[in-house]
Amino acid sequence: MPKCKNYLVDIPKFYRYNALDYMMFGYVNGLRKLVPSTNVKQAIEIFLKAYELGEDDYCFDTAYGAYYRILRAIVEMQPKGSKTDENIII
């Protein structure tokens, strides 16, 4: 019978997402950087259309939530008291 490990591994939340979430985050963040008037919802819709992803492949609501979870994880990874990176679009 396996023994229970008595240690915890502190893995930042940023590393807990799948590849499609990262790809969507980079695409949306890059599009918003290139065209500042684009909001997150519009950018996600453009991403889904560009890669021909339907609701069965990658749900809009899932993508929208994943974008903000990844963004929050990036902000949480920064040292306490440091200034937020200006390249991150919130």
The reply to whether 38 falls in a domain is: yes
CA 38, 86, 23, 8 torsion-angle sign: negative
Q: Does the pLDDT value for residue 11 go beyond 70?
A: no
The reply to whether 52 falls in a domain is: yes
Query: Is the pTM of the predicted complex or chain greater than 0.75?
Result: no
Amino acid at 34: L
If one counts the domains in the chain, the total is 1
The reply to whether 84 falls in a domain is: no
Across the chain, mean pLDDT equals 83
Q: How far apart are CA 53 and CA 78, in angstroms?
A: 32
The reply to whether 66 falls in a domain is: yes
Q: How far apart are CA 2 and CA 87, in angstroms?
A: 46
Q: Side-chain half-sphere of 25: how many Cα atoms within 13 Å?
A: 21
The reply to whether 54 falls in a domain is: yes
Q: What is the span of the domain harbouring residue 58?
A: 13-77
The reply to whether 51 falls in a domain is: yes
The reply to whether 31 falls in a domain is: yes
Per-residue pLDDT tens digits for 43-84: 999 999 999 999 888 999 999 999 999 998 888 877 776 666
